[in-house]
Amino acid sequence: MTFEDYKRQVEEDARETIAEGADWYESWDDMYDALFTDDAVTGNGSGSYTFSAARAAENARGLAFDDDFIAEARAAGYDMELFAEGPEAVDVVARCLALGLVSGALEAAYEAARAAA
């Protein structure tokens, strides 16, 4: 997957989670925190989105040479040693970074879901 693929997938997963549970959270900040730790969005709660190192490796394979991912990872304080942490760590970090980048669109989806509830 490319980092653009990660952003699309994270946004899709997060939109599903927002549609199902926006009314459980009183603010966007609370909703964002929940998304950040949700295994179905980032995998950050357990440390794995796929629950399979092989699948995570398949997903993250393209990130080693993805300039957008490398720039975002460096801005967040990661260096290339991140890849030594294993594929599930790389996959989760990519999803967490992607969530931050798509959060503006997701906040609008959250506000719309709250207004509809």
User: b or e along 48-57 (b: 16 or more beta carbons within 10 Å of the residue's beta carbon)?
Assistant: bbbeeeeebe
pLDDT at residue 98, rounded to an integer:
98
pLDDT at residue 117, rounded to an integer:
77
Confidence check: pLDDT of 32 > 80: yes
Cβ contacts of 73 within 8 Å, gap of 6 or more: 79, 82, 93, 94, 97
For the entire predicted model, the pTM comes to 0.95
Q: Could you report the per-residue pLDDT of 35-58, keeping only the tens digit for each?
A: 999 999 999 999 999 999 999 999
Q: What is the mean pLDDT of residues 24-30?
A: 97
Q: What is the mean pLDDT of the chain?
A: 97
pLDDT at residue 21, rounded to an integer:
94
Q: Could you report the per-residue pLDDT of 2-18, keeping only the tens digit for each?
A: 999 999 999 999 999 99
pLDDT at residue 106, rounded to an integer:
98
Q: How far apart are CA 59 and CA 34, in angstroms?
A: 23
| Token pair of 117 as six digits | 């509830």
- In this prediction, residue 81 has a pLDDT band, given cuts at 50, 70 and 90, of very high
| Token pair of 103 as six digits | 């959060």
Percent of the chain with pLDDT over 70: 100
Cβ contacts of 8 within 8 Å, gap of 6 or more: none
